[in-house]
Amino acid sequence: MADAVTNRISVVEGDITQQHVDAIVNAANTTLLGSGGVDGAIHRAAGPDLLEECRALGGCQTGEAKITKGYRLPARYVVHTVGPVWNGGRKGEDELLASCYRKSLELAESQEVKTIAFPAISTGAYGFPLARAILIAVKTVTEHLTRSPSITQAVFVCHNDRAFRMYLDALAEVAGEPANAPGKREREAGDADRDRGDAYAAIREQIDGQLKMIEAVHGIRIVNCDALADTLARAAGDRTQASRATAALNSWVVINNIRGEIEIPDDMIARILEQTTKK
Ligand code: APR
């Protein structure tokens, strides 16, 4: 996968209703009239005007998507998509789930959305196995972003550490980067310095992108951003570790409800570094 696409995809642990992106995606049902799970949370946060607009849409078929305004949400739009109910995997569930991501991206692009956040569609009430759904999500979004330049950031928002790790595994798999890939070891010794420089540059670029995304999503400014990115890029051995580091920072920002300008304190940087090198 091209680096440019890797840098346009991030994973955060948190609540999708709180994301400061242009559009968030809702895992709705065919009535589009709201219910529990992420759907209920989005309707509660957006307020009653969202339901009123949804009523006028006449429902939505599985694998399709419709768009509304975001009302009281930080996001300008909500893309409502209907994931498949898991039925054993032989009823076209994989294709329908991929279609949800594709159609959501196409619809968002038609409204000039640049940043979009997705929940793990179908993995709650609809019972789709989590790892399988996450791999489909990551593959489909990556393929779409590779073809289409207009979305600058797609964010996968997950609720827990287990899902978070599954997203990182799926991103590594799609990028063709198994965590302990052989190869470098076997190259000429003279390539080692250049390899180290290239690896730093690639990881630094990824971290810069993810820190910018954290700033944009939470509406904050990290004053020691440059030094932090340098420290993290030097500590991270690969992209997975880099993502783990920025995810730890993201969780800290969410949990502490950070607003405005912030200098990330040294003790927090030490904790992020622990996360960075965690196996
Ligand atoms: N932010 C991010 N993710 C969330 C949030 C939230 N606020 N709330 C729930 N999730 C996660 C769940 O942990 C799950 O992994 O979203 C995923 C999707 O779960 P559901 O909301 O149950 O969606 P789905 O499985 O697609 O089922 C859709 O549920 O609420 C109804 O109307 C909806 O009938 C439809 C069905």
pLDDT number for residue 113: 97
One domain for residues 141 and 201: no
- Both 127 and 259 in one domain: the answer is no
Answer with the one of 176, 209, 244 that is the final residue of a domain.
176
Q: For ligand 1, which residues put their CB under 6 angstroms from it? A: 15-17, 27-29, 35-41, 83, 119-126, 157, 159
142 and 250 co-located in one domain = no
Of 2-16, 107-121, 223-237, minimum mean pLDDT range? 2-16
Q: Give the residue numbers annotated as catalytic, written as ranges.
A: 39
- Whose Cα sits closest to atom 19 in ligand 1? 124
Question: What residue numbers bound the domain in which 250 lies?
Answer: 179-279
Question: Is there a single domain that holds both residue 189 and residue 146?
Answer: no
> 58 or 160: whose pLDDT is higher?
58
Same domain, 6 and 95: yes
pLDDT of 114 strictly over 60:
yes
CB neighbours of residue 55 within 10 Å: 12
Which residue puts its alpha carbon closest to atom 20 of ligand 1? 124
Q: What is the pLDDT of residues 187-230, one digit of tens each?
A: 344 455 556 677 888 888 888 888 888 888 788 899 999 989 99
Q: Are residues 114 and 217 in the same domain?
A: no
> Per residue in 68-104, pLDDT tens?
999 999 999 999 999 999 999 999 999 999 999 999 9
255 lies in the same domain as 145: no
Domain boundary among 176, 204, 234: 176
pTM: 0.75
In percent, the amount of the chain with pLDDT more than 70 equals 90
| Listed residue (266, 261, 139, 276) closest to 203, CA to CA | 276
Pick the atom of ligand 1 nearest to 83's CA: 26
Count of domains observed in the chain: 2
Ligand 1, atom nearest to 160 Cα? 13
Domain end (from 129, 153, 176): 176
How far apart are the CA of 35 and the centre of ligand 1, in A? Answer: 10
Sorting pLDDT into bands at 50, 70 and 90, what band is 266?
A: confident
Arithmetic mean of pLDDT, 229-258: 84
Both 159 and 267 in one domain: the answer is no
Q: Is 80 found in the same domain as 35?
A: yes
My answer on whether 154 and 63 are in the same domain is: yes
User: Quick one: tokens of 202?
Assistant: 């690639």
For residue 130, give every residue at least 6 positions away whose Cβ sits within 8 Å of its Cβ, in sequence order, or none: 120, 123, 162, 163, 166
Q: Are 25 and 137 found together in one domain?
A: yes
The alpha carbon of 205 and the centre of ligand 1 are apart by a number of angstroms equal to: 32
- Does residue 234 register a pLDDT over 50? yes
**Residue 262 reports pLDDT greater than 70:** yes
Task: Say which CATH number the domain at 21 has.
Answer: 3.40.220.10
Q: What is the mean pLDDT of the chain?
A: 88
Mark whether 131 and 188 lie in a shared domain.
Answer: no
| Smallest CA separation from ligand 1 atom 30, residue | 36
- How far apart are the CA of 252 and the centre of ligand 1, in A? 23
